[in-house]
């Protein structure tokens, strides 16, 4: 279970690197440090829940290419590093993922990666979580 949770957080954080920031070129995929830097909007060296949430929403809307409010498996694969996690995120099993499902599954894992339980993600916590992925 813990491995699955860590994979969800990693998928969200790595998707942050894969999705372009507004007006910027996409960052290299699979680089947790780049993803962290792009998510840390105020550049204080840590990611709070608001920054994390805002980036997750941005990733969702970037991935929803047809702008119908849902991501199909194909759309999800374009922004998520671990597309096999989609089955677990699709709670209503309608074959697509809503913004609510996407945010819920990603936000639920914030505490798992927050090793020191200070309410923030550090780059070291994100990198450590990345290193334990399968």
Provide the residue-wise pLDDT of the chain in tens; the chain has 134 residues: 555 444 544 455 445 444 444 444 454 457 899 999 999 999 999 999 999 999 999 999 999 999 999 998 888 888 876 666 666 778 888 888 999 988 887 887 788 899 999 999 999 999 998 887 64
Domain that holds residue 77: 2-131
What is residue 73's predicted lDDT score, i.e. its pLDDT? 83
Q: How far is CA 129 from CA 85, 101, 108, 125, in A?
A: 16, 22, 15, 6
Number of domains making up the chain: 1
User: pTM of the predicted model, to two decimals?
Assistant: 0.73
Q: Cα 127 to the chain's mean position, in Å?
A: 14
Residues 6 or more apart whose Cβ sits within 8 Å of residue 19: 26, 58, 59, 62, 63, 79
What is residue 22's predicted lDDT score, i.e. its pLDDT? 44
What is residue 90's predicted lDDT score, i.e. its pLDDT? 80
CATH number at residue 96: 1.10.238
What is residue 82's predicted lDDT score, i.e. its pLDDT? 60
Say how far apart CA 129 and CA 111 lie, in whole Å: 12
What is residue 29's predicted lDDT score, i.e. its pLDDT? 52
**Residues for the chain: how many in total?**
134
Say how far apart CA 81 and CA 128 lie, in whole Å: 17
What is residue 79's predicted lDDT score, i.e. its pLDDT? 81
């Amino acid at each position: 279970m813990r491995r699955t949770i860590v994979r969800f957080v990693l998928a969200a954080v790595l998707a942050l690197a894969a999705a372009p920031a507004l007006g910027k070129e996409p960052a290299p995929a699979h680089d947790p440090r780049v993803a962290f830097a792009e998510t840390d909007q105020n550049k204080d060296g840590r990611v709070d829940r608001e920054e994390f949430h805002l980036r997750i929403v941005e990733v969702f809307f970037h991935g929803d290419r047809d702008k119908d409010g849902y991501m199909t498996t194909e759309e999800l694969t374009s922004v998520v590093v671990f597309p096999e996690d989609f089955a677990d995120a699709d709670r209503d099993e309608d074959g697509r993922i809503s913004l609510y499902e996407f945010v819920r599954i990603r936000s639920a894992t914030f505490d798992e990666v927050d090793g020191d339980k200070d309410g923030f993600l550090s780059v070291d916590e994100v990198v450590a979580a990345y290193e334990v992925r399968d």
